[in-house]
Amino acid sequence: MYNPNARRGRLIALTLVAAASAGGNCPAAVHRGGAAYDGSARWAWDKAQPVAAQNAADAELRQILATLVQTDGRLPANEGSWSFVCWSPSQQKTIQVTIAADGSPSTSIRAEAAPGPGIQRPLPAAWANSTDVFQAIVNAGVSLANATGAQLAVLNVASYSGVPNQAAWAINFQGSNPPNQVVRWDGTYVGPQ
């Protein structure tokens, strides 16, 4: 059965993977030290949300996209990014705020008619932080010992069989078996995909 949301999710994922791979000769990832919150999705959202709100007071968070996430659910100190896709009902536009590993923001805005991107619109405010999501995968017995990190981590991009039409994290690990893991928006482990 054709699922346009799944197709859009795969296209977004391919774009992010291509962007992450384009660096070619980038320096090796530097492990992020410090508090467990630093470099996580919620850390980045704290920086992105005011930027989105400045562009549209009614900006609703619809999707989260990340590249090059460590196995602890945080960005390395020197590479990777978290992107937050928001949609403004009043302005009929999508605002994407990307937070780099160093905490610096960049923004892109495009006109887009309702309903905007995402399976569940808007995302529930209590979405689980990336550190909790990655820990849920480990707690479910998935070994990340051979994983070098996640090339891609997305929330609310496509519908998955274990949680149809619900917001879910999809994590694509490098060097682990199985490589793709799905966790519901609230941090409940779903399984491999």
Counting residues of the chain whose pLDDT is more than 90, the rounded percentage is 71
Q: Which of 25-34, 102-111, 157-166 has the lowest mean pLDDT?
A: 25-34
pLDDT at 157 over 50: yes
pLDDT at 89 over 70: yes
Q: Specify the pTM.
A: 0.86
Q: Mean pLDDT, to the nearest integer, of 70-93?
A: 96
Q: What value, to the nearest 5°, has the Cα angle with vertex 89 and ends 84 and 91?
A: 95
**Band of pLDDT at residue 26, cut at 50, 70 and 90:** low
Residue 72 lies in domain: 4-13+34-192
pLDDT at 132: 98
At 89, the amino acid letter reads P
pLDDT at 7 over 60: no
Residue 115 lies inside a defined structural domain of this protein: yes
Cα separation of 2 and 23, whole Å? 34
Domains identified in the chain, total number? 1
Closest CA to 59 of 84, 30, 27: 84
Where is pLDDT greater, at 90 or 22? 90
Residue 85: strand pairing partners: 63, 96
pLDDT at 175 over 90: no
Q: Which of 4-18, 32-46, 95-109, 116-130 has the lowest mean pLDDT?
A: 4-18
Residue 23 lies inside a defined structural domain of this protein: no
Contact predicate 151/172, CB 8 Å: yes
Asked if the peptide bond before residue 179 counts as cis, ω within 30 degrees of 0, the response is no
**Band of pLDDT at residue 176, cut at 50, 70 and 90:** low
Instruction: State the sign of the Cα–Cα–Cα–Cα dihedral 182, 184, 187, 188.
Output: negative
Residue 109 lies inside a defined structural domain of this protein: yes
Residue 144 lies inside a defined structural domain of this protein: yes
Q: Mean pLDDT, to the nearest integer, of 123-147?
A: 95
Residue 81 lies inside a defined structural domain of this protein: yes
pLDDT at 108: 97
